[in-house]
A and B are shown apart, each in its own frame.
Chain A
Amino acid sequence: DQQVKQNSPSLSVQEGRISILNCDYTNSMFDYFLWYKKYPAEGPTFLISISSIKDKNEDGRFTVFLNKSAKHLSLHIVPSQPGDSAVYFCAASGAADFNKFYFGSGTKLNVKP
Chain B
Amino acid sequence: DSGVTQTPKHLITATGQRVTLRCSPRSGDLSVYWYQQSLDQGLQFLIHYYNGEERAKGNILERFSAQQFPDLHSELNLSSLELGDSALYFCASSAGTGGPDTQYFGPGTRLTVL
Count residues of chain A with CB under 8 A from any CB of chain B.
28
B83 interface residue per 8 A CB criterion: no
Count residues of chain B with CB under 8 A from any CB of chain A.
28
B53 interface residue per 8 A CB criterion: no
The majority secondary structure among interface residues of chain A is strand
Report yes or no: B90 in contact with A100, Cβ–Cβ below 8 A: no
Which of A43-51, A57-65, A75-83 makes up part of the contact surface? A43-51
Residues 94-106 of chain B: 1 if any A CB is under 8 Å from the residue's CB, otherwise 0? 1000011111111
Given A43-B92, A106-B42, A99–B100 Cβ distance below 8 Å? yes
Tell me the minimal C-beta distance from A83 to chain B in angstroms: 17
Report yes or no: B94 in contact with A99, Cβ–Cβ below 8 A: yes
Report yes or no: A101 in contact with B103, Cβ–Cβ below 8 A: yes
B68 interface residue per 8 A CB criterion: no
B55 interface residue per 8 A CB criterion: yes
Q: Which of A97, A99, A100 has the most CB of B within 10 A?
A: A99
Given A100-B56, A100-B58, A106-B42, A43–B4 Cβ distance below 8 Å? yes
Report yes or no: A99 in contact with B107, Cβ–Cβ below 8 A: no
Binding site for B on A (CB under 8 A): 2, 4, 6, 9, 32, 34, 36, 41-46, 49, 51, 89, 91, 93, 97-106
For the complex of A and B, 9 pairs with smallest distance between CB atoms: A43-B105, A103-B42, A103-B43, A105-B42, A98-B100, A32-B100, A100-B56, A44-B105, A46-B102
